Amino acid sequence: MVDAKELDKKRCLIDAHIMYGENCEDNLAIQAKRSAGLAENYKEEGFLGDAVGEMKRSLLLIRNENNEPLLSAWEQDLGEIERKCPYQCGKPVPHGLSESCSACNRLIKKCPVCENLNRYIDPYCRSCGKKLSYGCTEKHNPNNFTKTWFKEISAIPIDNICATPVIVGDCIVVPTPHDHSLLALKVSNGEIAWRRNIPGIDRNTRLMFHYPYLYIYSQRSVQRIMMGLDMMAPEIIYSTSDLHDNRQTFPFIDGKIIYFPVIDGLLVHNIFRKSGAICRLNRTNNGAIFPVKAGNELLVFSQKGEVYKLIAENLEYYHTLDSFDNVGPPSSPINSNWIFFEGRKNGGREIIAWRNGTKIILSRKIRDDSCSFEDPPLLHKNGALIISSQEPLVYSVTCDGMTMSLTEMRIDISSGIKKVTNINFLFSLTIDSFFVSRIADGFFYIDLNEKTQSGIEFFGSELVSRPLCFNNRLFFICKDGVRCYAF
């Protein structure tokens, strides 16, 4: 007898092949055949509902007249499907009440075509095979935040968390280095959905979700677990006995390929494989390296100012950013050749924009003393945001032709005797035109287009990670637990 989780794993991989594979007839035909085969497997193991859904998806991809009567017979045998929670609790869900399960408090996604209930993580309907859309359909104004729940986590020293948690389906996944584990909290109410011990999690662990895997990128390894099948053992993609410092490095996702900075190179990983290939730098002593995509090209910046281009699985020297002592992590807007980053020159701080494929390098001096080298600039509209290291200022940078525009935006927000006196860029994010960031014992928010739309909230605890946004919810990971605000 085949374990149902093994069949579900095959289904998730078919999802990924459709999502990240080429949208061509050959790929669709391959996935349709795999989906029909999986439907047969489900039928053999007695999971008739899953068999019907998988066969429907197969026929949606490529019509097959031989499978149509088979599907019709299965549907007759199945009869009317009872609306049940798609998670493990399996409780009935009444019509009209399909946003969440009242028993397990997990979020549910209703298919707009067949009205079947799916897990929030599912990209395709498990009943009819149609692609599901995600995200909040209502337009919310990120103002007047209202606290909805607080989850105290006193048993775990959460102040040790350094990495940003991630949203996976309808859960917040938080790394807890003290006991080398991952903790998943339900976004609806903060209840613990699951907890997993993952050897290798450390203070600098970074998490990254790329369906269907959650990747755990730490100093000595890259691991992954398949989400939704949380009891399956983690797979080790890469491990090393030599310690590499990943505090300043950020993996980069490009379709089915993920690029992980490692010692003196880049780990290039195809999510459909169990390992990756190392692309070595042809020069040494680069310091930290940062992958970024500009236009259609994958570039790697080094902390020393050298730029490499990935060509046919080789990292070839491309360019040197002359006269900069060192540079920080870059960021580039989607479908743009402009790359924004910070640099230090002659002891001073500068914001820099380089147009890939040209010799155009624009820069502006900033009067602050220290750079924000632990995070890339925040992308905003067609430009980027950086923060002052000394004053409550946000700098907005845009480029047009040969001109760089730098706008200073002073944050003047107060409540009683308390006011915003500094900004920690590591704990900031943007929601539409709103900028949200940390203060000593709370957070503030301001509309970058309309400065009067602003506010400040205090909760008496320190943020230890960048906030997370999920639909109309905002989450703060603090020393004493996790807080959720709605807007």
- Specify whether 64 is located in the same domain as 151: no
Q: How far is CA 32 from the centre of its chain?
A: 29
Residue at which a domain ends, from 217, 239, 261: 239
- Specify whether 150 is located in the same domain as 180: no
- Specify whether 115 is located in the same domain as 143: no
* Residue 319 CB coordination number (10 Å): 16
The token pair that represents 9 in the structure block: 């794993």
The token pair that represents 54 in the structure block: 């998988």
Q: How far apart are CA 192 and CA 170, in angstroms?
A: 12
**pLDDT at position 463:** 87
Write the CA distances from 241 to 200, 221, 262, integer angstroms: 12, 9, 12
- Specify whether 150 is located in the same domain as 202: no
CB 182 within 8 A of CB 153: no
Q: How far apart are CA 482 and CA 161, in angstroms?
A: 12
Q: What is the pLDDT along the chain (487 residues), one digit of tens a residue?
A: 677 888 999 999 999 999 998 778 888 999 999 999 999 999 999 999 999 999 999 999 999 999 999 999 999 999 887 888 999 888 888 877 668 898 999 999 999 888 889 999 999 999 999 999 866 555 667 777 899 999 987 645 555 555 678 999 999 998 887 788 889 999 999 999 998 888 888 777 889 999 999 999 988 889 999 977 656 678 999 988 766 666 667 899 999 999 999 887 899 999 999 999 999 887 666 677 899 998 889 999 988 888 999 988 888 889 888 778 888 899 999 888 899 999 988 888 999 999 988 888 899 998 887 766 778 899 998 899 998 878 889 999 999 888 999 999 999 998 888 888 888 777 899 998 899 998 888 999 999 988 888 999 998 888 888 899 998 999 998 888 899 999 8
- Specify whether 91 is located in the same domain as 197: no
- Specify whether 107 is located in the same domain as 214: no
- Specify whether 88 is located in the same domain as 115: yes
Residue at which a domain ends, from 119, 147, 180: 119
The token pair that represents 248 in the structure block: 């300043």
- Specify whether 176 is located in the same domain as 195: yes
Q: How far apart are CA 456 and CA 61, in angstroms?
A: 50
For residue 45, give its domain range: 4-119
- Specify whether 142 is located in the same domain as 222: no
**pLDDT at position 193:** 92
Residue 129 lies in a domain: no
Ordered strands of the 297-302 beta sheet: 289-294, 297-302, 306-311, 314-320
Residue 52 lies in a domain: yes
Rounded to 5 degrees, φ, ψ at 74 are -65, -40
Q: How far apart are CA 185 and CA 175, in angstroms?
A: 11
Helix axes 68-78, 48-61, angle to 10 degrees: 150
CB 406 within 8 A of CB 389: no
Give long-range contacts, CB 8 A cutoff, 24+ apart: 347-351. 349/389, 350/324, 351/377, 351/384, 351/386, 351/395, 351/397, 351/406
CATH number at residue 177: 2.40.10.480
Q: Parallel, antiparallel, or unpaired for β 418-419 and 424-431?
A: unpaired
Q: How many structural domains compose the chain?
A: 3
Task: Tell me: cis bond preceding 177? Omega within 30 of 0 counts.
Answer: no
Q: How far apart are CA 385 and CA 434, in angstroms?
A: 12
Mapping DSSP onto H, E and C, the string for the chain reads CCCHHHHHHHHHHHHHHHHHCCCCHHHHHHHHHHHHHHHHHHHHCCCHHHHHHHHHHHHHHCCCCCCHHHHHHHHHHHCCCCCECCCCCCCECCCCCCCECCCCCCEEEECCCCCCEEECCCCECCCCCCECCCCCCCCCCCCCCEEEEEEECCCCCHHHCCCCCEEECCEEEEEEHHHCEEEEEECCCCCEEEEEECCCCCCCCEEEEECCEEEEECCCEEEEEECCCCCCCCEEEEECCCCCCCCCCCCEEECCEEEEEECCEEEEEECCCCCEEEEEECCCCCCCEEEEEECCEEEEEECCCEEEEEECCEEEEEEECCCCCEECCCECCCCCCEEEEEEEECCEEEEEEEECCCCCEEEEEECCCCCCCCCCCEEECCEEEEECCCCCEEEEEEEECCEEEEEEEECCCEECCEECCCCEEEEEEEECCEEEEEECCEEEEEECCCCCCEEEEECCCCECCCCEEECCEEEEEECCEEEEEEC
Q: How far apart are CA 198 and CA 220, in angstroms?
A: 13
Residue 140 lies in a domain: yes
**pLDDT at position 210:** 95
- Specify whether 86 is located in the same domain as 142: no
Residue 107 lies in a domain: yes
Residue at which a domain ends, from 212, 239, 266: 239
Residue 338 lies in a domain: no
* Residue 309 CB coordination number (10 Å): 16
Give bridge partners of residue 463 from the DSSP assignment: 478
Residue 21 lies in a domain: yes
CATH number at residue 28: 1.25.40
Q: How far apart are CA 58 and CA 38, in angstroms?
A: 10
Residue 327 lies in a domain: no
Chain position carrying tokens 């900028």:
435
- Specify whether 37 is located in the same domain as 112: yes
- For the chain, state the CA radius of gyration: 24
Q: How far apart are CA 204 and CA 255, in angstroms?
A: 25
Residue 388 lies in a domain: no
- Specify whether 174 is located in the same domain as 78: no
Q: How far apart are CA 247 and CA 158, in angstroms?
A: 18
